[in-house]
Amino acid sequence: MPDHLSTFPFIYLASQSPRRQELLKQIGVQFELLLPSQEEDAESLESVLPNEASLDYVQRVTRLKVEAAKKRMDHRHLPFTPILCADTTVAISLGSTVKGSHKAHEQILGKPQDDENARQILQLLSGKTHQVHTAVAVLTKKDDQELVRLLVSTSNVTFKALSSSDISAYIASQEHLGKAGAYGIQGLAACFVENIQGSFSGIMGLPLFETAQLLQESDVQFGLNSI
């Protein structure tokens, strides 16, 4: 039995990602979707600021998603329950362009704009190790005060050297569409991965260890807590 009765039997999931929905179901979370209306420009939240570090970026975007979802809940006059938002970004370290400096900088790789952009991204990842950051946040209440709890999962993923035919075949599968870094590790791109250090679910888009921590701290009933 849990130490105390969980306050919230379900959450709002402010994400269109089927992978995040599958992962929440895996740990027994009951949720309702809280998706943007046609009037909302959800993609605009994901713009990168000049010289923004990938860790700063993924946390900032996740907090913006929480703010937008909270406004959505209020506008629709929905009953309060915790809101979960997440964002995943892929980043790769590159040699500095500053003459005489060996300090690495990074490039944030978002969702590909088209097939050619996806090809460029996959060529950049080929034979190298990149980072996958997923931030997950829960808006909840404590003592009648709203607060946002946020955690970040970072994983290192190493790709084999990709041939032109590897990349062409993957793009033809259309699995790259709508995915940060132009790939989804749970699909055909698993054949490209030599090594992972970190969270497989985090690379998919929702780190379950961190998510469970946030839900427990937010008094949400799920999984083992509901037994």
Q: What does the block give as tokens for 121?
A: 């991204």
Distance CA 89, CA 171 (A): 19
**Is-contact 157 179, C-beta < 8 A?**
no
Place of tokens 């979707």: 33
DSSP 187-214: TGGGGGEEEEES-HHHHHT--HHHHHHH
Task: Answer for the pair 186, 177: CB distance below 8 angstroms, yes or no.
Answer: no
Instruction: Quote the CA–CA distance of 60 and 46 in Å, as a whole number.
Output: 9
3, 41, 74, 87: which is the annotated catalytic residue?
87
CA angle centred on 134, ends 152 and 58, rounded to 5°: 85
- Write out the two tokens for 127: 């034979």
Locate all alpha helices (DSSP H) within the chain, ordered by sequence: 18-26, 54-75, 115-125, 164-173, 200-204, 208-217
Contact 90, 131 (CB under 8 A): yes
Q: Report the amino acid identity of residue 209.
A: F
Which residues make beta-bridge pairs with 195?
158
Active site (annotated) includes residue 115: no
User: Where in the sequence numbering do the catalytic residues fall?
Assistant: 87
